[in-house]
Amino acid sequence: MTNVEKVATARCRHLGFVIDSSFVTRPPRRRTAKAGHSSFLRQRAFTLLEVLVVITIMIILAGLVLSTFGYMQKKGARARAETEIAAMSAACESYKADNGIYPREASSTDMLNAKVSGDPSAYQSASLYLFTQLSGLNQNQTPITGAKSYFSFKPQMLSTDTNGNVTAIKDPFGYSYGYSTAQAANPGGAAGYNPTFDLWSTSGLTTSPPPSGTDTITPQWIKNW
């Protein structure tokens, strides 16, 4: 029995009669569900705002991580290209010590001009010739009779066709290395840079240097000049 019922019953008894508690009108209880529901909605809206803030921060951080990763990856590729060019240059010096001349072919290495050619697809024949001379192997990677090996190429340094035949020496950016003896073929001429040989990577670029004006392409290459 509620307090209200008790009070009503006591008064009735005081007056000399008893009224059953079932006839006593009970005051309505306060409804708090609506207030609780409103509080829940406010709390829910605030949580959604927090989620949006967190997602925004995560997107910004992901962008920073990806840009940093791309920069580090490119920096690592450049460092590897510099190491490979230095190693192949040393092998060319050993080749010259034995043969009196650097690896050179009139139809390929003499014809490639680093000053005007920035498309790595045009480097393949000269690059393949350099591979055969330094490795002592044919295009199908079988030994050349009587040839000496001056450099051992790792698999990731070689571009091959579907039959496993070598097509070029590949730089860390996935393109062919450039190798030219244009200046050696025509000393003092306009083609080429070094009187010995030019060896370079375009560092992923495929645009040729301009024939005149400011050259912004070649300075981005990794090269031996």
Mind listing the pLDDT tens digit for each residue in 28-45? 565 555 555 555 555 555
Q: How far apart are CA 123 and CA 202, in angstroms?
A: 11
Burial of 106 (0-12, 13-18, 19+ CB in 10 A): exposed
Q: How far apart are CA 191 and CA 173, in angstroms?
A: 25
Looking at the predicted structure, is the pLDDT value of residue 50 above 90? Answer: no
The pLDDT of residue 212: 84
The pLDDT of residue 51: 84
Q: How far apart are CA 67 and CA 59, in angstroms?
A: 12
Residues of the chain with pLDDT > 70: what percent? 80
- Residue 54: pLDDT band with limits 50, 70, 90: confident
- Residue 182: pLDDT band with limits 50, 70, 90: very high
| Size (the chain), residues | 225
The pLDDT of residue 97: 98
The pLDDT of residue 7: 53
What rounded mean pLDDT belongs to the chain? 86
Q: Which of 8-12, 62-66, 69-73, 85-89 has the lowest mean pLDDT?
A: 8-12
For residue 89, give both structure tokens.
């240059």
The pLDDT of residue 31: 56
User: Among 160, 166, 179, which residue's Cα sits nearest to residue 136?
Assistant: 166
